[in-house]
């Protein structure tokens, strides 16, 4: 995480993030065509590990944790970590100090990387129970 | 030893502070590069890397996470210069991912606009 203070970049990113959340909360990516589709899915038809994350965020903004989880479990699980990282950045800008950080051993990050790749492969396989991992897979009857 | 930046107690042989990542005083076996300044923090951009993997362009998000892992691996080994190089690469792949994602989004929006205009 950069420790140098870059106020302009930070506030632009914060404003962009807030605006995106506002749009995302008011328009469902599942129905409205205003959100760009996943490039990988548009080009190849395969789901990537990020597919469904916008729909998941939309559902989360409406308080539907289970539906959000069904669209992209990885995005929902990584959200607390991302929010903490964003909060740390905000704290650095506002108070001049980042939040306490724990050094993550490299092998955990390698494991995370492997998990993301495996998740990306698994959600494309039309085999039960792996197909539950496809976006919305857990919502099918 | 205590970290001079955040005051966290660290193992005496720690190369970097477990809390803030600050390089601690030169340890036996660590080659200090010329131009290396103690107190330098090596960011691993892991939060950024995960964010772009989930929201932007996947093929560029994976190398960002790989370099992020390398940053921490090299810090653990005491290789500050290597960690700084990996940190630069992690940042670069994050920015490539954001750039590719934005490019795709802009192209998509332009296609929609062109489509709407051509209908009239």
Q: What is the pLDDT of residues A79-129, one digit of tens each?
A: 999 999 888 888 888 888 888 888 888 999 999 999 999 998 999 998 888
Between A102, A109, A116, which is nearest B53 by CB? A116
* Number of helices followed by number of strands (H, E) in chain A: 6, 0
Q: Do B60 and B26 have their domain in common?
A: no
Question: Which domain covers residue B2, as residue numbers?
Answer: 1-39
Question: Of chain A residues 43-72, which have a CB less than 8 A from chain B?
Answer: 48-50, 53-54, 72
- Which residue in this structure is represented by tokens 């107190």? B39
Q: Do B25 and B6 have their domain in common?
A: yes
Q: Do B62 and B8 have their domain in common?
A: no
Positions of chain B with pLDDT under 50: 27-38
B5 touches A at CB < 8 Å? no
The total of structural domains in chain B comes to 2
Instruction: Identify the pLDDT of residue A107.
Output: 92
Q: Do B25 and B82 have their domain in common?
A: no
Q: Do B84 and B114 have their domain in common?
A: yes
CA–CA dist A60, A65 (Å, integer): 6
A86 touches B at CB < 8 Å? yes
Q: Do B64 and B97 have their domain in common?
A: yes
**Cα angle, residue A14 at apex, residues A13 and A16 outer, rounded to 5°:** 65
Between B18, B68, B112, which is nearest A103 by CB? B18
Instruction: Identify the pLDDT of residue A9.
Output: 81
- State the number of CA atoms in the 13 A half-sphere of A124 facing the CB: 16
Name chain B contacts of A106, Cβ cutoff 8 Å.
69-70, 72-73, 76
B54 touches A at CB < 8 Å? yes
Chain B residue closest in CA terms to A108: B69
Q: Do B35 and B79 have their domain in common?
A: no
B43 touches A at CB < 8 Å? yes
Instruction: Identify the pLDDT of residue B68.
Output: 93
Convert B13-42 to b/e letters by CB count within 10 Å (16 or more is b). Answer: ebbbbbbbbbbbeeeeebeeeeeeeeeebb
- How far A61 CA lies from chain B's nearest CA (Å)? 16
Q: Do B54 and B33 have their domain in common?
A: no
Q: Do B95 and B67 have their domain in common?
A: yes
A123 touches B at CB < 8 Å? no
Q: Exposure of A127 by Cβ count < 10 A (0-12 exposed, 13-18 middle, 19+ buried)?
A: exposed
Beta-carbon separation of A74 and B54 below 8 A? yes
Q: Do B95 and B57 have their domain in common?
A: yes
Q: Do B35 and B85 have their domain in common?
A: no
**Cα angle, residue B12 at apex, residues B10 and B18 outer, rounded to 5°:** 25
Structure tokens at B97: 């991912």
Between B19, B47, B62, which is nearest A100 by CB? B19
Q: pLDDT digit string (tens) for A30-67?
A: 777 778 778 788 888 888 888 888 889 999 999 999 99
Q: Do B1 and B54 have their domain in common?
A: no
Instruction: Identify the pLDDT of residue B67.
Output: 94
Instruction: Identify the pLDDT of residue A77.
Output: 92
Closest CA to B90 of A113, A132, A19, A125: A113
CA–CA dist A19, B115 (Å, integer): 25
Provide DSSP, B57-80: -HHHHHHHHHHHHHHHHHHHHT-H
Residue partners of A18: CB distance under 8 A and separation at least 6: none
Instruction: Identify the pLDDT of residue B85.
Output: 93
Beta-carbon separation of A82 and B47 below 8 A? yes
CB-CB contact of B6 with B17 (8 Å)? yes
- How far A117 CA lies from chain B's nearest CA (Å)? 8
Q: How big is the A-B interface in CB pairs under 8 Å?
A: 95
């Amino acid at each position: 995480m950069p420790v140098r203070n870059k106020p302009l970049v930070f506030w632009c990113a914060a404003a962009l993030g807030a605006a995106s959340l506002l749009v995302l909360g008011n328009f469902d990516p599942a129905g409205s065509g205003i959100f760009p589709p996943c490039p990988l899915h548009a080009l190849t038809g395969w789901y990537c590990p990020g597919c469904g994350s916008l729909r998941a965020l939309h559902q989360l903004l409406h308080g539907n944790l289970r539906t959000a989880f069904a669209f992209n479990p990885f995005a929902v699980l990584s959200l607390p970590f991302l929010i903490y990282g964003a909060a740390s950045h905000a704290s650095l800008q506002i108070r001049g100090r980042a939040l306490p950080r724990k050094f993550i051993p490299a092998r955990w990050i390698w494991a995370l990387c492997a998990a993301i790749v495996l998740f990306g492969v698994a959600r494309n396989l039309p085999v039960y129970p792996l197909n539950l991992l496809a976006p919305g897979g857990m919502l099918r009857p | 030893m205590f970290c001079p930046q955040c005051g966290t107690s660290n193992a005496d042989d720690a190369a970097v502070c477990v809390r803030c990542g600050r390089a601690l005083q030169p340890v036996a076996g660590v080659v200090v590069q010329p131009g290396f300044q103690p107190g330098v923090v090596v960011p691993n951009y892991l939060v950024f890397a995960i964010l772009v993997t989930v929201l932007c362009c996947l093929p560029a998000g994976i190398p960002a996470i790989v370099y992020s892992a390398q940053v921490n691996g090299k810090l653990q080994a005491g290789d500050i210069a290597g960690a700084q190089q990996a940190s630069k690469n992690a940042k670069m792949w994050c920015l490539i991912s954001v750039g590719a994602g934005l490019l795709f989004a802009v192209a998509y929006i332009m296609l929609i606009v062109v489509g709407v205009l051509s209908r009239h």
